[in-house]
């Protein structure tokens, strides 16, 4: 029971940042500007929040600074990719490379190996819900997490509503599916693309804050460790649908949690669990692609 | 379509150029000491990925060079390679640096040559290259391949043994030493006699720590007649501190009071978890005791200052060619050891001070016994096999 409890708790722990990246990324995905800079933006959120907290001692200021700077990266990405029509993959790659480099540079100037916060503790951020906390199983899922983790799960529903039940969501999808018709309808397509990217940047900032400040009260170099790319894979598998994509994100959380928790019993072999999501994703992507094109009989059909 | 391709290529080109120019100016940090008369020795240090401010492994090597530079008036340069170690080795050798330390784990191009190229060691016969942490410079029969390559190895298994002994002693007396106000140790009869180990990758360079650590735990456990459980994970990687933190969390939940991690930044996550849980972590490579004050018991350190200084000194005296091509720095040399415990000592409560002195005396005794050969520790790095049956008081899970 103890084990199951900690598996569930760690699942939520590891899912939250990936879910945030997923719900941030799907709008850009639907608007046809693939944001591969999720990783870099998340790292920026992680770095700036801890850095500002370290320098000023104010958590609120840290959160605001992290969000604002990440939105600036979003603006850089949008300006170059949308206004200047640059290649979004290259720009995204650029951001993914420059953010960790800036972080390392600042650490080097400050002569630190990592930033570890002493005046706030991880326990300060946890919200223990009385009553629910002691219920077995459910307690581990629902109670004892920091604020942004809850926001991540609420965010899934919010993203689904925003995507399917609002005018904004419809416009974003129209812009992505057929930009010419969107223009013919008089939509300002660039505006929707900008907003889609900025929503992504905002969510990535939260993901970063969650990962570094809330969960660890510290920043270490490259601490995002590929979570942004996992989110992109999840978005592709879920075809940009908020709930499905988030489920793939949770799948990663489950696998990581199993790998971590079962290492006590299975030893190093527990690391095998880390491979499961990748196997599933490759299989899903292959099947999806096969189903999509299996009835296409035209010779020389261009798959675009 | 064509226009897109051209644009994309243009972008790529621009990126490459920017990256190239950044490498050129940003990648190398130069610290030149004023050249005094005499020696024509020029020393270069290639840092590992952790960088020169890692408060340990790289930094102490730089300090060794600095010390030698002040003393002998030589020139030295510190490089953090951004385009790979082989390029850095070549360009430094081209620039006339004749003693080059390579702290990064990348020796292939130097010793064997990659892609059909001549080995770098062969291309620059007048330059002495120093490989740290491994001895790649030997063929299958153990013969030295290049005469201008020196390998430096650290007996970290001995230092890990000391850390293991300390772990058992502290674990048995945790409440006496630290009290219960800021700490939350699991009592011994409730699963508290267990220890965790987290390694970055399953290689000899990592298991060497683990095996020494197990033997150290066993040594003291056998004396006290108690049994320990040992949880280990060898695939935690080196960057994902959040995963390190949760893995440590499961070990702490399992009852472990002390977790030893040999996994770069992942270990920082472990230390953060130790603080959260009110338990202890052991760090590695650098003195990271003050990272989470009071929650890092000690660090197993490789003090690269000692070999860097020694080798530079010999180079200045012109005797570098007469040094052993493979040098091992043991616990006795002071280059591989645990920290002086001064940080954790501040957190020992008054009523535990006597016990703490007792423990420190015992640790001193263990160190002496290792130095004089009474205690022999398994050295996985030189290919020795770990024999679990010799550690009856530790159950490896």
Write out residues in chain B with pLDDT < 50, as ranges: 1-2, 17, 20-37
Average pLDDT of the residues in A156-180: 93
Give residue B23's pLDDT: 44
B19 within a domain of the structure (yes/no): no
Instruction: Choose among B54, B202, B246: nearest Cβ to A268.
Output: B202
Task: Find which of A8, A106, A149, A223 to mutate to test the B interface (most B CBs within 10 Å of its CB).
Answer: A223
B318 within a domain of the structure (yes/no): no
For A213-247, the pLDDT digits (tens) are: 999 899 998 899 889 999 999 998 888 999 999 99
A224 within a domain of the structure (yes/no): yes
B164 within a domain of the structure (yes/no): yes
d(CA B108, CA B136): 8
**Residue B240 contacts A, CB cutoff 8 Å:** yes
Which CATH number is B142's domain given? Answer: 3.40.50.2300
Q: Centre a 10 Å sphere on the Cβ of residue B356 and count the other Cβ atoms it contains.
A: 20
B307 within a domain of the structure (yes/no): no
Q: Using a pLDDT cut of 90, give the percent of chain A over it.
A: 56
The CB-based long-range contact list for B117-125 (8 Å cut-off, 24+ gap) reads B119/B146, B120/B86, B120/B89, B120/B90, B120/B93, B121/B145, B121/B146, B121/B148, B121/B149, B122/B146, B123/B90, B123/B93, B124/B93, B124/B148
**B367 to chain A, minimum CA–CA distance in Å?**
29
From chain A residues 172-231, the ones with a CB under 8 A of any chain B CB are 211, 215-218, 220-223, 225
Last residue of one domain, picked from the residues B113, B139, B154: B154
B175 neighbors B224 (Cβ within 8 angstroms): no
Task: Find which of A116, A145, A226, A266 to mutate to test the B interface (most B CBs within 10 Å of its CB).
Answer: A116
Instruction: Choose among A113, A260, A270: nearest Cβ to B246.
Output: A260
A299 within a domain of the structure (yes/no): no
A171 within a domain of the structure (yes/no): yes
Q: Does one domain contain both B198 and B146? A: no
A304 within a domain of the structure (yes/no): no
**Residue B299 contacts A, CB cutoff 8 Å:** no
A227 neighbors A17 (Cβ within 8 angstroms): yes
Q: CB–CB of B246 and A13 under 8 A?
A: yes
Token pair 């000690």 is found at: B298
Q: Does one domain contain both B343 and B381? A: yes
Which of A114, A258, A69 is closest to B268 using CA atoms? A114
For B287-321, the pLDDT digits (tens) are: 888 888 999 999 998 888 889 999 999 888 888 88
d(CA A295, CA B12): 37
B322 neighbors B77 (Cβ within 8 angstroms): no
Which CATH number is A113's domain given? Answer: 1.10.3470
Closest CA in chain B for residue A259: B247
Give residue B341's pLDDT: 92
Helix A38-56, helix A59-78: angle, nearest 10: 150
Q: Does one domain contain both B202 and B192? A: yes
Is a pLDDT exceeding 70 seen at residue A268? no
Last residue of one domain, picked from the residues B154, B172, B192: B154
Q: CB–CB of A116 and B397 under 8 A?
A: no
Pairing of strands A145-146, A126-127: antiparallel
Q: CB–CB of B293 and A218 under 8 A?
A: no
pLDDT band with cut points at 50, 70 and 90 for residue A302: low
Q: Does one domain contain both B283 and B388? A: yes
Which of B340, B339, B299, B360 is closest to B173 using CA atoms? B360
**H or E element in which residue B281 lies:** strand B280-285
State phi, psi for B230 to the nearest 5 degrees. -130, 115
As for how many domains chain B has, the answer is 2
- Two structure tokens written together for A4: 């199951």
A88 within a domain of the structure (yes/no): yes
- Two structure tokens written together for B35: 């050249």
d(CA B87, CA B159): 34
Please list every residue in chain A whose beta carbon sits closer than 8 Å to the beta carbon of residue B232.
267-268
B179 neighbors B355 (Cβ within 8 angstroms): no
User: Is residue A84 classed exposed, middle or buried when 0-12, 13-18 and 19+ CB atoms within 10 A define those classes?
Assistant: exposed
Closest CA in chain A for residue B233: A268
Give residue B31's pLDDT: 44
The mean pLDDT value of chain B amounts to 85
Q: CB–CB of B265 and A222 under 8 A?
A: yes
Q: CB–CB of A271 and B291 under 8 A?
A: no
Q: Does one domain contain both B163 and B249? A: yes
Q: CB–CB of B250 and A270 under 8 A?
A: no
Is a pLDDT exceeding 90 seen at residue A165? yes
B292 within a domain of the structure (yes/no): yes
Q: Does one domain contain both B125 and B258? A: no
d(CA B270, CA B249): 8
**H or E element in which residue A127 lies:** strand A126-127
A74 within a domain of the structure (yes/no): yes
A102 neighbors A40 (Cβ within 8 angstroms): no
What pTM was estimated for this model as a whole?
0.81
Q: Does one domain contain both B135 and B165? A: no
Q: Does one domain contain both B48 and B144? A: yes
Interface A-B: count of C-beta contacts within 8 A: 122
d(CA A148, CA A158): 14
d(CA A208, CA A43): 6
For B245-276, the pLDDT digits (tens) are: 999 999 998 899 999 999 888 999 999 999 98
Last residue of one domain, picked from the residues B134, B154, B174: B154
A145 within a domain of the structure (yes/no): yes
The size of chain A, in residues, is 304
pLDDT band with cut points at 50, 70 and 90 for residue A124: confident
For A67-103, the pLDDT digits (tens) are: 999 999 999 999 999 999 999 999 999 999 999 999 9
**H or E element in which residue A84 lies:** none
B265 neighbors B49 (Cβ within 8 angstroms): no
Give residue A34's pLDDT: 87
Q: CB–CB of A122 and B276 under 8 A?
A: yes
DSSP code per residue over B37-65: SS---EEEEE--TT-TTSSSHHHHHHHHH
Is a pLDDT exceeding 70 seen at residue A147? yes
Closest CA in chain A for residue B50: A113
Q: Does one domain contain both B84 and B100? A: yes
Give residue B139's pLDDT: 81
As for how many domains chain A has, the answer is 1
Question: Which residues have C-beta within 8 Å of that of residue A276, sequence separation ≥ 6?
Answer: A255
A303 within a domain of the structure (yes/no): no
For B146-161, the pLDDT digits (tens) are: 889 999 988 999 999 9
Alpha-carbon dihedral angle through residues B276, B281, B284, B290, given to the nearest 10 degrees: 60
Structural domain range at position A100: 2-118+126-293
Structural domain range at position B57: 27-154
């Amino acid at each position: 029971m103890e084990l199951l409890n900690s598996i569930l708790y760690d699942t939520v722990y590891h899912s939250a940042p990936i879910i945030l990246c997923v719900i941030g990324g799907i709008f850009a995905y639907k608007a046809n500007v693939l944001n591969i800079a999720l990783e870099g933006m998340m790292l920026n959120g992680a770095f700036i929040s801890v850095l500002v907290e370290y320098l000023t001692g104010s958590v609120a200021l840290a959160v605001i600074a992290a969000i604002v700077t990440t939105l600036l990266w979003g603006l850089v990405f949008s300006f170059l990719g949308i206004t200047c029509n640059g290649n979004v993959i290259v720009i995204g790659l650029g951001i993914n490379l420059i953010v960790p480099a800036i972080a390392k540079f600042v650490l080097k100037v400050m002569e630190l190996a990592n930033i570890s916060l002493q005046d706030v503790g991880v326990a300060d951020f946890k919200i223990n819900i009385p009553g629910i906390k002691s219920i077995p199983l459910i307690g581990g899922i629902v109670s004892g997490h920091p604020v942004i983790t809850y926001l991540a799960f609420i965010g899934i529903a919010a993203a689904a509503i925003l995507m399917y039940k609002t005018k904004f969501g419809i416009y974003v999808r129209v812009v992505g599916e057929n930009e010419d018709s969107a223009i013919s309808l008089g939509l300002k397509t660039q505006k929707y693309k900008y907003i889609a990217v900025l929503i992504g940047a905002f969510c990535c900032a939260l993901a970063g804050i969650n990962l570094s400040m809330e969960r660890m009260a510290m920043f270490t170099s490259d601490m995002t460790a590929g979570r942004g790319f996992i989110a992109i894979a999840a978005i592709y598998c879920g075809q940009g649908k908020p709930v499905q994509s988030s489920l793939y994100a949770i799948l990663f959380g489950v696998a990581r949690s199993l790998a971590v928790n079962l290492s006590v019993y299975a030893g190093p072999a527990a690391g095998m669990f880390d491979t499961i999501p990748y196997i599933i994703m490759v299989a899903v992507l292959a099947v999806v692609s096969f189903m999509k094109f299996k009835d296409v009989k035209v010779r020389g059909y261009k798959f675009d | 379509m064509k226009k897109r391709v051209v644009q994309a290529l243009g972008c790529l080109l621009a990126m490459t150029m920017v990256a190239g120019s950044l490498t050129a100016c940003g990648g190398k940090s130069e610290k030149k000491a004023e050249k005094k008369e005499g020696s024509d020795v020029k020393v270069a240090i290639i840092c590992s990925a952790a960088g020169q401010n890692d408060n340990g492994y790289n930094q102490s090597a730089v300090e060794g060079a600095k010390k030698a530079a002040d003393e002998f008036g030589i020139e030295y340069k510190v490089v953090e390679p951004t385009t790979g170690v082989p390029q850095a080795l070549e360009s430094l050798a081209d620039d006339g640096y004749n003693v080059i330390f390579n702290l990064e784990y990348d020796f292939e191009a130097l010793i064997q040559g990659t892609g059909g190229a001549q080995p770098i060691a062969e291309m620059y016969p007048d330059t002495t290259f120093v490989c740290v942490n491994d001895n790649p410079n030997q063929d299958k029969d153990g013969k030295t391949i290049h005469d201008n390559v020196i390998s430096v190895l650290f007996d970290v298994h001995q230092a890990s043994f000391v850390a293991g002994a300390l772990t058992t002693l502290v674990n048995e007396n945790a409440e006496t030493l630290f009290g219960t106000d800021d700490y939350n140790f699991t009592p011994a009869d409730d699963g508290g006699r267990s220890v965790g180990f987290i390694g970055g990758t399953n290689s000899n360079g990592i298991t060497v720590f683990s095996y020494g650590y197990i033997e150290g735990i066993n040594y003291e456990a056998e004396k006290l007649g108690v049994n320990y459980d040992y949880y280990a994970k060898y695939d935690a990687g080196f960057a994902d501190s959040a995963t390190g933190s949760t893995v440590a969390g499961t070990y702490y939940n399992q009852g472990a009071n002390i977790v030893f991690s040999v996994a770069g930044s992942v270990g920082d996550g472990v230390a953060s978890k130790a603080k959260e849980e009110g338990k202890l972590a052991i760090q590695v490579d650098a003195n990271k005791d003050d990272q989470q004050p009071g929650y890092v018991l000690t660090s197993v350190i490789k003090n690269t200052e000692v070999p860097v200084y020694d080798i530079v000194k010999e180079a200045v005296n012109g005797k570098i060619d007469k040094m052993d091509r493979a040098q091992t720095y043991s616990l006795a040399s002071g280059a591989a050891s645990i920290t002086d415990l001064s940080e954790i000592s501040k957190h020992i409560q008054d009523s535990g001070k006597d016990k703490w002195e007792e423990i420190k005396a015992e640790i001193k005794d263990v160190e002496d016994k290792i130095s004089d050969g009474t205690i022999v520790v398994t050295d996985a790095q030189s290919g020795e096999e770990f024999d679990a049956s010799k550690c009856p008081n530790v159950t490896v899970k």
